[in-house]
Amino acid sequence: MLNKNAFRDPVTSKKLLAAIANITTQHWTLMEVCGGQTHSIIKYGIDSLLPEKIRLIHGPGCPVCVTPLAYIDKALAIAAQPQVIFCSFGDMLRVPGSQLDLLSLKARGADIRIIYSPMDALKIAQNNPEREVVFFAVGFETTAPTTALVALQAKILNLKNFSLLACHVCVPPIMRALLESPHNQVQGFLAAGHVCAVMGYQEYLPIAAAYRVPIVVTGFEPVDILQGIYQCVQQLETGRTEVENAYSRVVREHGNPAAQQAMQQVFITVNRSWRGLGEIAQSGLSLAPEFADWNAELKFKIATIDSPEPAACRSGEVLQGLIKPPQCAEFGTTCTPEHPFGATMVSSEGACAAYYRYRKS
């Protein structure tokens, strides 16, 4: 097993910081795509150690944050039904819907269970044949394969009391959308390492070429992140716009073909609304028609629930990197983890929560 501490080594980190400072001659704005990276950057204070000319802006890669309000409301509508056992990853429970969150619904008596793997939801369905078991399947390409495997397994078992509220999203379309925005400030991307572990990085080649932007596949430990920043700055300083892999201990060029195959069997690509960002074409994964029997939206007839986003929350701007959390007037005053306006303040990967939790004074 690799020694993880090697990737947190302060000495190596300081060498990389010096190397970055050494090659930086101009102002550059980089975006780390994944919320896990944002969390590491703020937790370890990497942003404050970089040369002033390097600005990091935080990307939309937090699955909890970008799940649209309508899906939280759909989850609440399903979970409120007495015959339902509603299974979710833990950090979705505190995300506010239009009226309440899943934690409050649980307190009112709904059977809502935190699970660690979608397979656990399948087991709960097998053990409770008289109940309807629903799994709230959210996340990027990192979690989509396990949802796909569960759907395939449910079909093989012909498990009729199990269904999926699936709201998966994909990274490349949102990167394109950010680059096409008239407000775009991103000059280089640190691509999300774990998404690439599943998908590989070939799909980023056309993005780097079309938008002339360097993309460096990057991990999550301080040394990984600094290495990603170093390679990205090096490309910018030398005028290159390539896709590079700075996380080769985990990521292969073609990713994980078995996981991709399962995803292809189970999902179709659809347009999807992102919380705070609006609809982005071909950015979502929904269950394919062959899996209609396991589609909770059809089973519970809630496909038409549509909830408008609240206006006060500026999480959309945060998720696009247009503002940093402290620039929002509500941040840390009226909007806190106890009273979140938006999901970016709730999720462990949300930029607002990371800034709030790791604020320096």
Residues in contact with another protein by CB under 8 A are: 4, 8, 10, 13-14, 36, 43-46, 48-49, 63-64, 89-94, 96, 98-101, 103-104, 106-108, 114, 116, 138-140, 142-143, 194, 222, 310-313, 334-342, 348-349, 356-361
Q: Which CB, 90 or 206, lies closer to another protein?
A: 90
Smallest distance, Å, CB 120 to another protein?
Answer: 8
Q: How far is the CB of 127 from another protein (least distance, A)?
A: 13
> Which lies closer to another protein via its Cβ, residue 208 or residue 247?
247
Long-range contacts, stretch 102-108, CB < 8 angstroms, 24+ apart? 102/72, 102/75, 102/76, 105/76, 105/79, 105/80
* 172 vs 298, beta carbon nearer another protein: 172
CA distance 31 to 188: 6
- As measured in angstroms, the least distance from the Cβ of 250 to another protein is 13
Q: How far is the CB of 293 from another protein (least distance, A)?
A: 25
**Which alpha helices (H) appear in 44-170, and where do they start and end?**
46-49, 63-66, 69-79, 102-107, 118-127, 144-157
How far is residue 176's CA from residue 194's CA, in Å, rounded to a whole number?
A: 19
CB of residue 52 to another protein, shortest distance in Å:
16
Choice between 69 and 232, CB closer to another protein: 69
- Our CB check for another protein shows the closer of 141 and 244 to be 141
Residue count of the chain: 361
Q: 274: which strand partners?
A: 278
Nearer to another protein, 92 or 236 (CB): 92
Helical H runs in 2-34? 10-23
Strand residue runs (E) in the chain: 28-34, 54-61, 84-88, 111-114, 132-139, 162-169, 188-192, 215-218, 243-245, 267-274, 278-287
Q: How far is the CB of 262 from another protein (least distance, A)?
A: 16
Least distance in angstroms from the C-beta of 24 to another protein: 19
Closer to another protein by CB, 107 or 157: give it.
107
Distance (Å, rounded) from C-alpha 172 to C-alpha 192? 10
Q: Which is nearer to another protein, 106 or 155 (CB)?
A: 106
**Nearest distance in Å: CB 97, another protein:** 9
50: DSSP letter? S
Side-chain-side CA neighbours of residue 58 (13 Å) = 29
| Buried/exposed code over 265-299 (b: 16+ C-beta within 10 A; e: otherwise) | ebbeeeebbbbbbeebeebbbbbeeebeebbbbeb
Q: Which residue number, 257 or 310, has a Cβ lying nearer to another protein?
A: 310
State the nearest-atom distance from the C-beta of 75 to another protein, in Å: 14
Q: In angstroms, rounded to a whole number, what is the distance separating the alpha carbons of residues 356 and 218?
A: 24
The DSSP call for residue 95 is S
- Annotate 56-91 with b (16+ C-beta within 10 A) or e (fewer): bbbbbbbbbbbbbbbbbbbbbbbbbeeebbbbbbeb
Locate 123 and state its tokens: 């087991």
* H or E element in which residue 210 lies: helix 205-211
